[in-house]
Structure 1
Amino acid sequence: MRRAAVRRGARVIEGTATIVADGAVRGVRVDDVFVGADAVIAAAGAWSPQLLEPIGVRVRIAPQRGQIMHLRLPGVETGNWPVVLPRSQHYILAFGDSRIVVGATREDDVGFDHRVTVGGMAEVLGEALSVAPGLAAATHVETRIGFRPVGPDVRPLLGAVPQVAGLVVVNGLGASGLTVGPYVGAIAARLARQVDPGIDLAPYDPLR
């Protein structure tokens, strides 16, 4: 999605961002670079509280740790393998270089703990082997850690913040970010342009 945005003219500035506001959004400062703006979409995932609290906005977002394992089956063509979504909350994804990704844990109340745990790997492998026992022959390449943003309930946080004109908050998509994210992003863009979003956003109040 980042590459697609750049192809369409987006400018990517890497660094530590802060929102500049005085009752209304004035822009964003990334390290020493200031970008003026009439509207800002705050979509900082599990780190949104740290971004928003300095301007007096509090959102109920917490990190949920996910441990994801990367495996390899040497000599096996995996490029045409299907995506496997068992009835559990786990999945198996295959790529064209004999690589398989299996995941993922959903660990609440662990904070920003970056450790790879034996229990997490056991859970992921146990679920994967229960539906694809042939993966027992795979080589373990690495285990990665990610932090999903989870809100007070299953609904995302999406909407404008009345006390800071021009601020739109998008968050709380949890494990659904890659699937519902583009749709939610389109709604947020409409809000930032002060265009009717087309749906009732009351159930998704970001300050609830």
Structure 2
Amino acid sequence: MNKKIAIIGGGIVGASAAYYLSSLPGGDQFNVTLFDAGAGQATKAAAGIISPWLSKRRNQQWYQLAKDGATTLMTLARRANLSTDIYHQTGTIITRTNEKDLHDLFILAQERRQDAPDMGTVERLTAAEVKERIPLLTNPQPGIYISGGARIDGEALVTTLLDQAQQVNLTVKRGKVSLDNQGNLITATGQQRFDEIIIAAGPWLNELVEPLGIKVAVRPQKGQLIELAVPDYGSQENMPVLMPEGERDFIPFGHGKLIVGATHDDEAGFNLTATPAATQDLLNSARQFADYLTEGDITRTKVGTRAYTPDFAPFFGRLKGHPKLLVAGGLGASGLTTGPLIGRLLAGTIIYGGTPDWSNYEKPLTNYFS
């Protein structure tokens, strides 16, 4: 008889875990049910950049996770046959206005490339060369180009992964669920039995594990982005993503669409209302580089809630004292980069068993659970 697996949360970790439980060898021995409440999910509101290699975070475990996460996404894009509207390796350009900062960034890129060949080529660009690659810009800055960087549509990625998994062994159920004090899953129709449960509910993780007498060091952060209509250059689908210093990311998509964002609001909690102040902040940032943009060009606003830990590092693994429960959280703004790898690792340990050592990717779970 097939084992029954539950996943709570249909964001990037939950959707990735469901996909790998359906596609890794041995996954056909499992029946998987994913429960998702459908509100506030960070992934559905995210359009992001996959370019972790020049991060100056001191946490080497996070860097290893993000670096290998970028590689995982490259493989996933081919394996799941993702369209370029979902994942596109356009390259990224990281800009600096100070000459020394730009030089130091170029040296760092050359060093990081030694053990990260998926970075691709590294080039130093003048402001004119940056404009040549991103014609949308009116005020370009010099920068470093990394060919391995990519842009990604979080909502479309999750939808595609779940659609493919549903063709194999996944059932998706919309609605809120909870756990009892023994770790059993409770739905609107009562208790349901599962052999193992992955809890990937973002900042709602605390609420879910509270009946177990557990607290998690994770907090919500509101993020908002805007979509704008821009001139539809023939090359726009292949334009690199711009990561400016001190400003919001500038992400050209194809077909005359530009995404700018996202904000980081630590005070709004779970509030999902778009605010005029955040919208103006994003527009002002975009106008630093494309001064023709106006409020009338905004076609859509998205809001989601990220989960952060005090040290800004994600965690994942089997919950101590509750062997059938696996947890993941605290991905923050790097969820689209790290989430697919975390989902694959969790799916792998369910399929193949054992107690894998993930200390190269994360600190002990006891750092976040009490």
Same fold (TM > 0.5): yes
Aligned positions of 1:42-191 closer than 5 A: 42-73=199-230, 78-88=236-246, 90-136=248-294, 139-191=297-349
| Alignment-derived partner of residue 203 in structure 1 | 363
Same amino acid, percent of matched pairs: 29
TM-score normalized with structure 1 length: 0.84
For the Cα contact (< 8 Å) 2:181–2:211, is it kept in 1? no
Q: Which whole-Å deviations, capped at 9, do the CAs of 1:102-144 have from their partners, x for residues lacking one? A: 1111011221222322321222122222233343486111222
For the Cα contact (< 8 Å) 2:232–2:254, is it kept in 1? no
For the Cα contact (< 8 Å) 1:168–1:191, is it kept in 2? no
Any gaps of 5 or more consecutive residues in structure 2? 1-157
Q: Which whole-Å deviations, capped at 9, do the CAs of 1:63-111 have from their partners, x for residues lacking one? A: 1011111111265554333222223362122333322111111011221
For the Cα contact (< 8 Å) 1:89–1:104, is it kept in 2? no
CA distance in 2, matches of 1:36, 1:85: 46
For the Cα contact (< 8 Å) 1:168–1:192, is it kept in 2? no
Instruction: Sort the Cα spacing of 1:94 and 1:161 in 2 relative to 1 into closer, same or farther, 3 A.
Output: same
Please state whether the residue corresponding to 1:16 is helix, strand or coil: coil
For the Cα contact (< 8 Å) 1:190–1:197, is it kept in 2? no
User: Amino acid of the residue matched to residue 178 of structure 2?
Assistant: T
Instruction: Sort the Cα spacing of 1:142 and 1:6 in 2 relative to 1 into closer, same or farther, 3 A.
Output: closer
Moved more, 138-147 or 73-82: 73-82
For the Cα contact (< 8 Å) 1:65–1:106, is it kept in 2? yes
Match for residue 177 of structure 2 among 17, 28, 36: 17
Please state whether the residue corresponding to 2:210 is helix, strand or coil: helix
For the Cα contact (< 8 Å) 2:283–2:295, is it kept in 1? no
CA distance in 1, matches of 2:314, 2:203: 13
Q: How many residues are paired up?
A: 205
**1:17, distance to aligned residue in structure 2 (A):** 1.3
TM-score normalized with structure 2 length: 0.50
Any gaps of 5 or more consecutive residues in structure 1? none
For the Cα contact (< 8 Å) 1:70–1:102, is it kept in 2? yes
CA distance in 2, matches of 1:141, 1:122: 14
CA distance in 1, matches of 2:247, 2:342: 22
RCO greater where, 1 or 2, for CA within 8 Å and sep 6 or more?
2
**1:204, distance to aligned residue in structure 2 (A):** 4.1
CA distance in 2, matches of 1:62, 1:180: 18
| Alignment-derived partner of residue 161 in structure 2 | 4
**1:35, distance to aligned residue in structure 2 (A):** 4.4
Please state whether the residue corresponding to 1:115 is helix, strand or coil: coil
For the Cα contact (< 8 Å) 1:67–1:146, is it kept in 2? yes
CA distance in 1, matches of 2:357, 2:291: 46
Please state whether the residue corresponding to 2:306 is helix, strand or coil: strand
User: Amino acid of the residue matched to residue 354 of structure 2?
Assistant: V
Q: Which whole-Å deviations, capped at 9, do the CAs of 1:45-66 have from their partners, x for residues lacking one? A: 1211122212322212111011
Instruction: Sort the Cα spacing of 1:137 and 1:65 in 2 relative to 1 into closer, same or farther, 3 A.
Output: closer
Larger radius of gyration: 2
Please state whether the residue corresponding to 2:283 is helix, strand or coil: helix
Greater percentage in helix? 2
CA distance in 1, matches of 2:254, 2:202: 29
CA distance in 2, matches of 1:89, 1:57: 38
For the Cα contact (< 8 Å) 2:315–2:362, is it kept in 1? no
**1:179, distance to aligned residue in structure 2 (A):** 0.9
CA distance in 1, matches of 2:228, 2:160: 26
Which segments of structure 1 move beyond 4 Å, counting only runs of 4 or more?
Answer: 74-77
